[in-house]
Amino acid sequence: MKAIAVYDDGDEPVIVEKPRPEPAPGEALVRTLRVGVDGTDHEVIAGGHGGSPAGDDHLVLGHEAIGVVEDPNDTPFEAGDLVVPTVRRPPNGANEYFARGEPDMAPSGQYHERGIVGDHGFMAEYFTSPAEFLVAVPPALAEWGFLVEPASITEKAVEHAYASRSAFHWEPETALVLGNGSLGLLTVAMLDDEFDRIYCLGRRERPDPTIDVIESLGATYVDSNETPVPEVPTAHEPVDFVYEATGYAPHAFEAIEALAPNGVGALLGVPGDWAFEVDGGRLHRELVLHNKALVGSVNSGYEHFEAAVDRLSGLEESFFADLVTGVYGLDEFEAAFADDDTTIKTAVEFAAYEER
Ligand code: NAP
Ligand code: BGC
Ligand code: ZN
């Protein structure tokens, strides 16, 4: 079968031939339909994040997949079921985090991430997975199910941010999403029901397709060249919740200044090392005197995938069509990895969905 991989000494994805995997006991064989591409894939390809499985000189890419069960083997699934795989796997047999159903809370060394670090991903015509890591998806989401994984990232981050505000009466009304990439835009759509007013910050000028998406969702675009993050409270209003999805490290600290008293910021970006100056005393004081919180959040658990399926099921078809700017077959897979201002979200299609 064909797979899409990046070699350790390469800087772009290539097609490789692999044997079709055999499901072990407890595993299903899944025929891959579509696999999404995100900022993390670009970081992995550039060599800034993740790594190949031990003993291999390449990594099969892809962690945002949807597929159809081809051989349920001895699992509870049936042939034809639509499934989305979770990302993390235990590296050397189960550990306490996986046993508790909280692989997303495991520290480095206690997990592999398929398609990112230590384990091959889902950009292949078939993959196998233990049933416990496969989430059922309704046929209505067959086309867009590759968005379940990134949506699960937001479900987790929001849950953790809300949990940090659970000790008092907190009724958030306003949210600021930093980043108009695929994760930022998906999050604007997902938060729509929860907040009265949503702002989304980028650094693009009009006309731009991401600004169109933000406005079609009823949110307000903030151009960081005109309104830097600390000025959002004066240019617009202080916000109860900040969701950082730029990977631009200063935003983590500037978010504190954009927050209203008692607000919380969730940090999602994964920047490289970068030393820069901040007024630490001011930020420390601001966190303390206004009961603000910052929460880092990575990956997601099974329940977050289930919540993501529910949340995506309630979004408009037209939003998906605007967000996903391209779905490409294996013969033109390179286009799925384009990184320009007309590309928002892309996926590679390995097979078309046929309802059985
Ligand atoms: P992406 O497509 O690269 O999006 C990042 C967006 O941030 C881009 O649209 C970029 O704008 C914008 N941006 C960057 N620096 C900016 C600045 N200084 N001011 C304003 N806008 C700025 O990546 P993504 O897939 O959406 O992911 C976003 C981040 O989340 C990445 O760092 C990724 O690694 C991380 N991530 C984390 C998790 C997790 O579990 N924590 C999961 C998924 C992704 P331009 O396009 O105009 O350059
Ligand atoms: C993936 C997560 C992963 C994170 C860090 C994200 O793009 O969606 O599943 O934990 O990158 O590698
Ligand atoms: Zn991702």
Distance 101 CA to ligand 1 centre (A): 28
Residue to probe by mutation, ligand 2, list 43, 89, 97, 153, most atoms within 8 Å of CB: 153
Question: Does any domain span residue 355?
Answer: no
Asked if residue 87 has its Cβ within 6 Å of ligand 2, the reply is yes
114 and 22, same structural domain? yes
Question: What would the pLDDT profile of 261-306 be if each residue is shown by its tens digit?
Answer: 999 999 999 999 999 999 999 999 999 999 999 999 999 999 999 9
209 and 285, same structural domain? yes
Question: Does any domain span residue 356?
Answer: no
Asked if residue 187 has its Cβ within 6 Å of ligand 1, the reply is no
Ligand 2: which residue has its CA nearest to atom 1? 299
Residues whose CB falls within 8 Å of the CB of residue 161, separated by 6 or more in sequence, listed in order: 241, 264, 265, 266, 293, 295, 297
* Whether pLDDT at 356 is above 80: no
C-alpha to C-alpha distance for 63 and 233, rounded to whole angstroms? 36
C-alpha to C-alpha distance for 257 and 56, rounded to whole angstroms? 45
Predicted local distance difference test score (pLDDT) of residue 295: 98
Per-position DSSP letters for 160-171, written without gaps between them: HHHHTTTTS---
C-alpha to C-alpha distance for 149 and 154, rounded to whole angstroms? 9
Question: Does any domain span residue 322?
Answer: yes
Which helix (DSSP H) or strand (DSSP E) does residue 352 occupy? none
Per-position DSSP letters for 51-100, written without gaps between them: BPPTT-SEEE--SEEEEEEEE-TTSS--TT-EEEE-SEE-BTB--HHHHT
Question: Does any domain span residue 302?
Answer: no
Asked if residue 61 has its Cβ within 6 Å of ligand 2, the reply is no
Question: What would the pLDDT profile of 56-114 be if each residue is shown by its tens digit?
Answer: 999 999 999 999 999 999 999 999 999 999 999 999 888 999 999 999 999 999 999 99
Query: If DSSP codes are grouped into helix, strand and coil, which group holds residue 40?
Result: helix
Distance 298 CA to ligand 2 centre (A): 6
The model's confidence at residue 355, banded by pLDDT at 50, 70 and 90, is confident
Predicted local distance difference test score (pLDDT) of residue 92: 86
Question: Does any domain span residue 123?
Answer: yes
130 and 170, same structural domain? no
Question: Does any domain span residue 308?
Answer: no
Ligand 1: which residue has its CA nearest to atom 46? 181
Ligand 2: which residue has its CA nearest to atom 7? 40
Domain CATH code at residue 76: 3.90.180.10
Predicted local distance difference test score (pLDDT) of residue 310: 98
Question: Does any domain span residue 86?
Answer: yes
What is the rounded end-to-end Cα distance, in angstroms, of the chain?
23
114 and 70, same structural domain? yes
Q: Report if pTM > 0.95.
A: yes
Structural domain boundaries, residue 66? 2-136+316-349
**Which residues are found with C-beta within 5 Å of the ion, ligand 3?**
38, 40
C-alpha to C-alpha distance for 242 and 252, rounded to whole angstroms? 10
Predicted local distance difference test score (pLDDT) of residue 93: 86
Predicted local distance difference test score (pLDDT) of residue 109: 96
Query: How many domains, in total, are found in the chain?
Result: 2
**Residue written as tokens 């991430």?**
113
Ligand number nearest CA of 270 is 1
Mean pLDDT of the 239-262 span: 98
* Mean pLDDT over each residue of the chain, to the nearest integer: 98
The model's confidence at residue 39, banded by pLDDT at 50, 70 and 90, is very high
242 and 193, same structural domain? yes
Among 87, 256, 261, 245, which Cα is nearest to 180's? 245
166 and 59, same structural domain? no
Question: What would the pLDDT profile of 122-176 be if each residue is shown by its tens digit?
Answer: 999 999 999 999 999 999 999 999 999 999 999 999 999 999 999 999 999 999 9
Question: Does any domain span residue 214?
Answer: yes
206 and 269, same structural domain? yes
